[in-house]
Structure 1
């Protein structure tokens, strides 16, 4: 493709005429004195420049000996990567595959956070973060975030999550400005507007001394390690208050200052509340007799 360059061509483009009534070409009809359509230079310049601009716009130089430059330009434009709309865009713009992947709930990135304190921004919502033990992470302000916006954390040790805008983090029934967690696997926080950040994790807190696991069904399993008093009574303040109901408890013997050690442990509730105070007192016993000074791990089931 090349611009016309013969001896009758002019150096400058003639000015365009005023826009007339749109129509179509005709070969004319002598019988009815209908003249054939005149093809003016203005029209030919329009066609030439449209093709030239498409070719040069694709990065090519005009080549008089090449006859596929328009086709090459079309291929180049078709292969160019699209522009991914910004996060949370809900307009009718064309979506790239990157935007679709993010919108379908796939994590947009997995980023390692440096040890220390890190403040997240709204642009980082939708990502997963590897958090170093002992670090502190501040959630982004909730203003402008869509409901259901999620942040996922992966860590093998204790770390702290805070908020910066007064919103609460709900791990269990009570909202807090910040939570200190020990995560075995991951914790996922969902933005719920007026209700702050809600935990939807499969494991929220874990340690040898105590922890809890929340299952997809809503069932919560908690465990606490405690030492019985001289009467065999075990007081348990467990990691979280059951939001809905306390169902049952059972105990496992770990160690005790008694000989021989008991072969089985029965755990019977004496007092407390599974859903109110988050504390219960049990009697650890064997064959109906209390186990003084026994080291017991109590497992509690609720929802």
Structure 2
């Protein structure tokens, strides 16, 4: 859009001005049957509309261009967007600068916004409690099942409940037992009963762990008890270490003497 380009146009200073008198009204095409004449379209009216449009276009940051008939749209869009930047959305607004709000009374428990002054006044009214005092409703001592569950994050552990956390269903202090640690790591141990290995022989022991690991067995260590440590051995069979057990192979390399052997194991998993 641009200003009017036509023969006999004038400058703005020379343009017709609106009449000082008269009653504002609406235009008509006239009616010959009633001898009602048509409205004569004065130049000042066209100039007024042109000036209104130009003011809006330029106010929206656009430059008049006779080859672009979208300037009005661009100007309105720019004006709206520039004003929207100053307002926060209704949902999840993020304020900048230093926004303020009315300060509710100290006893207010509604959904009004809390100012820093409100928070300060509320905190000032809370009595200080010694660190060694357990306040009802703020914290409580974990029960034995909660301590042993190792899952509560809103209870305190006394020395007694901390001790209980490693007992109960979290451990079995037997020759074939286990210990569940707070990290989730599980230690298990056991004894493979004594057997006598004939000379120059092997014997496999299929071991079932005291409890099944929930994820996997990470490592295993074995020790051999025998009067012939240079001739009796024990090893873990390949690909037999699972969440529930392992296969151990005991061997006697003596060519003439049978030997007794007891195997102990310690396995770690999760």
**Greater helix percent: which structure?**
2
Structure 2 length normalisation: TM-score? Answer: 0.39
Structure 1 length normalisation: TM-score? Answer: 0.36
Higher Rg:
2
Ranked by relative contact order (alpha carbons within 8 Å, sequence separation 6 or more), the top structure is: 2
**Greater strand percent: which structure?**
1
